[in-house]
């Protein structure tokens, strides 16, 4: 069964965040995480705000420290989060209702039915994806919306260096790709049709699939990726990114970087099969559970 043709523009009845709003998010994120992660997270934030609808309780799968929700306007919604990291959940509890939960082993917050579930680049890290999708469907109210971000199969082959290696030294390119996916613990790298079938098997009807990314955002992401690796390793030890030190820096000093982020993420949605799409944003609706 085929899904709808992936679209490249946001729905007409939903207004995308303004440039001023995006810059405000960028200032906040630059004081929280390295620039490469800031680009990715602001990209997703712009995209999810563009398609966000409805009210009612929302579940963030793989919520991490919950920082995302300090930027989003969610005062009229109950926000719940789950993660397998005790350290991350301890921070998230200062921002949202959060619990340590392995979604592949149990249904999150069994006493609550969620109107919206967000998987912010989390489900590709769960080894037992079938159990995870089944448990999320049990947690969803009928007609609930699932918005999930997952990497495309070829995300690690993007960039000028990888393009050159693919042409002249494909084995080296494949080794680099494998190392990146291993470092980020990507268990599931599927194309959009495979994700569609997996979701359908567990009671989710795919409504749309977008690609995420543009040539300029991908260039900047890879340009600043090496120092981001260093910050990531420091966070594994300390629990926080060194970027938090920038909270003592005035906006005027961060302004060039905030504007760079805004420029890079101003058009986040592309065709799902675009060569610059590093992620899919998949939007699905909870339907009757398969028999």
Which stretches within 52-169 are classed as H helix? 68-71, 86-92, 129-139, 160-168
Mean pLDDT within 129-147: 94
User: What mean pLDDT is predicted for residues 154-172?
Assistant: 90
Main-chain phi, psi angles of 46, to 5 degrees: -60, -45
pLDDT at site 273: 86
Length of the chain: 291
Cα dihedral across residues 149, 152, 156, 159: positive or negative: negative
CA nearest to 97, candidates 74, 115, 120, 119? 74
Is 167:137 a contact under the CB 8 Å cutoff?
no
- Locus of tokens 């899919």: 280
**Residue 199 confidence (pLDDT) above 80:** yes
Q: What is the pLDDT of residue 6?
A: 46
Tell me how far apart the alpha carbons of residues 194 and 178 are, in angstroms, rounded to a whole number. Answer: 20
pLDDT of residue 203: 93
Average pLDDT over residues 238-243: 89
Q: Ranked by mean pLDDT, which of 7-11, 71-75, 129-133 comes out on top?
A: 129-133
Q: What is the pLDDT, as a whole number, of residue 2?
A: 47
Q: How confident is the model at residue 53 (pLDDT cuts 50, 70, 90)?
A: low
**Cα 69 to Cα 66: distance, rounded to the nearest angstrom:** 6
How is residue 32 written in tokens? Answer: 């929280």
SS3 18: coil
Rounded average pLDDT over 153-163? 88
Percent of the chain clearing pLDDT 70 (strictly above) = 92
Tell me: pLDDT of 5 over 60: no
Three-state SS at 60: strand
Q: Are 124 and 130 in contact (CB under 8 A)?
A: no
Look over the chain and give the mean of its residue pLDDT values, rounded to a whole number: 88
Q: What is the pLDDT of residue 289?
A: 65
Q: Is the pLDDT of residue 3 over 70?
A: no
Q: What element of type H or E holds 59?
A: strand 58-61
Spatial separation of the C-alpha atoms in residues 49 and 17, rounded to whole Å? 7
162 vs 137: CA distance, rounded Å:
38
pLDDT at 54: 65
Beta bridge partners of 98: 81
Where do the domains of the chain lie, and which CATH numbers do they carry? 19-153+190-286 (3.40.50.150), 154-186 (no CATH)
Q: For 106, which DSSP code?
A: S
- Kindly tell me if the per-residue pLDDT of 225 is higher than 70: yes
DSSP H/E element including 100: strand 97-100
Task: With residue 245 as reference, give the H or E element that holds it.
Answer: none
Tell me what the mean pLDDT of segment 227-239 comes to: 88
Global pTM reads 0.89
The pair of structure tokens assigned to 55 is 């009210």
Where residue 8 falls among pLDDT bands split at 50, 70, 90? very low
């Amino acid at each position: 069964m085929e899904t709808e043709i992936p679209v490249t523009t946001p729905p007409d009845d939903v207004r995308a965040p303004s440039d001023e709003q995006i810059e405000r998010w960028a200032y906040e994120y630059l004081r929280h995480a390295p620039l490469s992660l800031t680009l990715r997270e602001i990209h997703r934030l712009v995209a999810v705000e563009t398609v966000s609808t409805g009210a009612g309780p929302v579940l963030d799968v793989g919520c991490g420290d919950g920082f995302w929700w300090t930027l989003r306007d969610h005062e009229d919604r109950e926000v719940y989060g789950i993660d397998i990291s005790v350290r991350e959940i301890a921070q998230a509890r200062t921002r949202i209702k959060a619990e340590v939960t392995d979604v592949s082993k149990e249904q999150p917050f069994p006493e609550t039915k969620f109107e919206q579930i967000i998987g912010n680049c989390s489900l590709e890290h769960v080894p037992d994806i079938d159990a995870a999708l089944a448990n999320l469907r049990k947690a969803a109210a009928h007609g609930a919306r699932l918005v999930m971000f997952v990497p495309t199969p070829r995300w690690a082959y993007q960039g000028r260096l990888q393009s050159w290696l693919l042409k002249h030294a494909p084995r080296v390119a494949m080794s680099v790709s494998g190392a990146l996916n291993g470092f980020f613990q990507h268990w599931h790298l599927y194309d959009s049709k495979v994700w569609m079938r997996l979701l359908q098997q567990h009671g989710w009807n795919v409504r749309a699939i977008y690609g995420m990314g543009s040539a300029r955002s991908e260039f900047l992401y890879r340009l600043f990726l090496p120092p981001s690796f260093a910050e990531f390793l420091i966070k594994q030890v300390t629990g926080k990114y060194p970027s938090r030190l920038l909270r003592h820096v005035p906006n005027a000093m961060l302004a060039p970087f905030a504007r760079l982020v805004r420029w890079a993420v101003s058009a986040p949605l592309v065709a799902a099969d675009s060569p610059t799409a590093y992620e899919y944003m998949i939007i699905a609706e909870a339907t009757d559970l398969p028999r």
